[in-house]
Each structure stands twice: as structure tokens, then as C-alpha cells.
């Protein structure tokens, strides 16, 4: 790889985190060349190279400084026990590492794991979890298709990632105890601060990422309200800052604009209508610089 002074960010080449990782970077206005099967791609308009890797390799590469930054799931990060710094949770790749058991089985409490064989691709996380809970169970280490282990007779239970639960259902398993709640995180090499040029590039990239994450979580709401309902409406809006109130031509109504947490919209829309708001518009926001 050329030593071009660019910061290097490792992301998953192909898998659950790939699309969201690329989309986050595109939303940061980074111009990513079509990468086809290349493993290293330079960004045209920013001093950044992207490395496309297996996700399991990312924490160690960042620890060793092969890449200064990485995007990886917390599950993989903790499993590898790499010595890196978590910079930011990224809000995608949410899943949960869980003990799952056959549909017709019953796990009343965690003590029932004693003496069981549990198949997993996360032996380190599972070992720590069992130790913390003083459980004596056998860990069966499998690298993939863990859900098949109980029906193959090689384990009683499994410990694997669950999101919708569909994979468990297909394999006649049901979710039980949560071992770890995970999402994608931005990680960085611990010595990055000592490389002042690259550290400056990192700070610029981080401020773009933060502005995109803020924007993803927020929406711009606009509505018309009768003048005498203004106070009621302002009470309902969970605005991040004071809303903007503008006069309208008809002299009876006002326009109210505000930035709100995206998840609040459906909670407040009926109250807004009851209080007299009309023509309610909800718009996406690209960036918020605080
Ligand atoms: N069902 C899911 N829903 C949401 N996020 C998930 C789900 N499964 C896994 N993840 C997250 O995505 C990460 C990558 O999962 P993926 O299944 O693509 O890994 P992989 O098959 O090991 O890929 P690789 O080939 O890169 O090693 C996981 O570490 C986890 O953080
Ligand atoms: O609860 P669900 O929504 O069904 O998701 C869980 C499945 O998703 C992941 O695998 P993925 O589909 O990424 O394939 P992989 O096993 O090949 O990595 C994970 O390893 C589970 O098998
Ligand atoms: Mg992997």
C-alpha cells in the first residue's frame, strides 16, 4: 500500500455492516470510487483510504496501526479483545448476542446452563459471561452456522447473534438470555494522537460523522397553526432548540418550524392536529453542526 499520508479506515468488505458503513461515509460527502474487488480505495476529495476487510480482522489491524480507524460490531471487537479506543457508536448493525435453546426446552434461570454444552463463534465473550455468572458449562467453538449445532447433536444450546429471530425460528430454536447488546462502532488506534497530521484528518472526519449522525436522528417539522393555538402547539413540540415562528399572509395563522428527534414525530402528530396544526410537513436533514 502506498504511504500517501492518508488516514486509513477499515470497513467490512461484504456483510451486514458493509452497506451502512459505506452509506455513512457517502453521507459525509466522501467521494468513493467504484471499488469492484479492490481491497484499498482512495477517497477522491478527502485524505482517506478505505480498506475492505473481513470484519474479524479489523480490530487487530486497528490495534497494530495497519489502519488508524475501523468500523466493526461491538461483538467482534470484544471477542478479539483488541486494545483500541471506541470513538463513537454508529447506530446501525444493532443485534444481540444471546443464548438460544431448542423450542421445546425450558430455561428457568441462568443456573440451568450448568453442565450444558453451548456452541458459539464467540468463545471469549461467552467464557467471560459464564465466569461472571459462576456457571460451569462447556463451550463448543464453531466458526459458522452455529444454529445447526443442537440438531446435529454437538451442543445443547447456542450463543449467537439475533436480530429478527428468523434464523432461530428456522432452526427450531428460541431466544433466551442476553449476553451482549451490540451495534457498529468507530474504533481508533490508541497512538493516533501522536501522528499530528493524521490526527487532524481524523478530527475533520469525526466532525462530519457526528453531524451526519445528529442529522439521522433528527427531522425538520413545519406546520401552520392558528395564532391563538401557538402556546399549546409550542408545548407539544419536543424541539431541540427554540422553534421558529413566522407570520403568514392571512394574518390568522403562523408557520412554526422546528428540529425534533425523529422518533418523536408519530408520538406528537395527533396532539398537534388536535391543537389545530395543519399542513404538517416532515423533512429529512442532511447535516447538523452543533
Ligand atoms: N442479523 C443481524 N442484524 C444486525 N446486525 C447484525 C446481524 N448479524 C450480525 N450483525 C452485525 O454485523 C456484524 C457482521 O456480521 P456478518 O454476519 O456480516 O459477519 P461475518 O459473516 O463474520 O462477515 P465477514 O465475512 O466479514 O467475517 C456482526 O459482527 C454484528 O455486529
Ligand atoms: O435474527 P436474524 O434476523 O435471523 O439474524 C441473525 C443471523 O444474522 C447473522 O448471520 P448472517 O445472516 O449475517 O449470515 P452469516 O451467518 O453468514 O454471517 C447472525 O449470525 C445470525 O445467524
Ligand atoms: Mg466475520
pLDDT of 124 higher than 70: yes
| Residue-averaged pLDDT of the chain | 95
Q: Copy the grid coordinates of residue 38.
A: 479492490
The residue whose CB lies within 8 Å of the most ligand 1 atoms, and thus the one to mutate among 11, 17, 166, is: 17
Same domain, 89 and 188: yes
pLDDT of 114 higher than 80: yes
Evaluate: CB of 162 within 6 angstroms of ligand 1. Answer: no
**Sign of the CA dihedral 119, 123, 127, 133?**
negative
Give the separation between CA 246 and CA 9, rounded to whole angstroms: 44
Query: Per-residue confidence at 1, pLDDT binned at 50, 70, 90?
Result: low
Same domain, 54 and 105: no
What pLDDT does residue 241 have?
Answer: 83
Number of domains in the chain: 3
Read off the pLDDT of residues 21-63 as tens digits, 9 standing for 90 and up. Answer: 999 999 999 999 777 778 999 999 999 999 999 999 999 999 9
What pLDDT does residue 2 have?
Answer: 57
Evaluate: CB of 56 within 6 angstroms of ligand 1. Answer: yes
Same domain, 79 and 58: yes
What pLDDT does residue 30 have?
Answer: 96
Phi-psi label, residue 60: left if phi above 0, alpha if psi -120 to 50, beta otherwise: alpha
| Enclosing H/E stretch for 206 | helix 196-216
Look at residue 1 and tell me if it is in a domain.
no
Domain residue limits at 269: 218-284
Tallying the residues shown for the chain, one arrives at 290
Look at residue 140 and tell me if it is in a domain.
yes
Same domain, 74 and 191: yes
Q: What average pLDDT does this structure show over 83-89? A: 98
Give distance in angstroms: CA of 11 to centre of ligand 2.
Answer: 18
Residue 99: give its domain's CATH number.
3.40.190.10
Q: Copy the grid coordinates of residue 152.
A: 446435529
Amino acid at each position: 500500500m502506498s504511504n500517501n499520508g492518508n488516514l486509513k479506515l477499515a470497513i467490512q468488505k461484504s456483510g451486514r455492516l458493509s452497506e451502512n458503513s459505506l452509506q455513512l461515509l457517502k453521507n459525509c460527502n466522501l467521494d468513493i470510487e467504484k471499488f469492484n474487488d479492490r481491497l484499498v480505495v482512495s477517497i477522491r476529495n478527502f485524505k482517506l483510504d478505505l480498506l475492505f476487510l473481513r470484519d474479524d480482522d479489523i480490530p487487530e489491524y486497528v490495534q497494530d496501526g495497519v489502519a488508524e480507524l475501523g468500523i466493526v460490531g461491538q461483538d467482534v471487537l470484544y471477542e478479539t479483545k483488541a486494545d483500541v479506543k471506541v470513538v463513537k457508536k454508529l447506530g446501525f448493525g444493532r443485534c444481540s448476542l444471546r443464548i438460544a435453546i431448542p423450542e421445546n426446552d425450558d430455561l428457568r434461570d441462568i443456573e440451568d446452563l450448568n453442565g450444558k454444552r453451548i456452541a458459539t463463534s464467540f468463545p471469549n465473550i461467552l467464557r467471560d459471561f459464564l465466569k461472571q455468572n459462576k456457571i460451569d458449562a462447556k463451550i463448543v467453538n464453531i466458526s459458522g452456522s452455529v444454529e445447526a449445532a443442537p440438531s446435529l447433536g454437538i451442543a445443547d444450546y447456542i450463543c449467537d447473534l439475533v436480530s429478527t429471530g428468523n434464523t432461530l425460528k428456522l432452526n427450531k430454536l428460541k431466544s433466551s438470555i442476553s449476553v451482549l447488546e451490540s451495534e457498529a462502532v468507530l474504533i481508533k488506534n490508541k497512538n493516533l494522537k501522536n501522528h499530528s497530521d493524521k490526527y487532524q484528518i481524523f478530527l475533520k472526519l469525526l466532525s462530519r460523522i457526528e453531524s451526519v449522525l445528529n442529522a439521522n436522528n433528527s427531522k425538520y417539522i413545519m406546520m401552520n397553526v392558528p395564532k391563538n393555538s401557538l402556546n399549546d402547539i409550542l408545548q407539544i413540540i419536543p424541539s431541540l432548540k427554540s422553534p421558529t415562528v413566522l407570520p403568514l399572509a392571512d394574518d390568522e395563522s403562523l408557520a412554526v418550524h422546528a428540529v425534533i428527534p425523529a422518533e418523536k414525530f408519530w408520538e406528537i402528530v395527533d396532539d398537534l392536529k388536535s391543537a389545530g396544526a395543519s399542513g404538517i410537513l416532515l423533512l429529512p436533514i442532511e447535516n447538523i453542526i452543533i
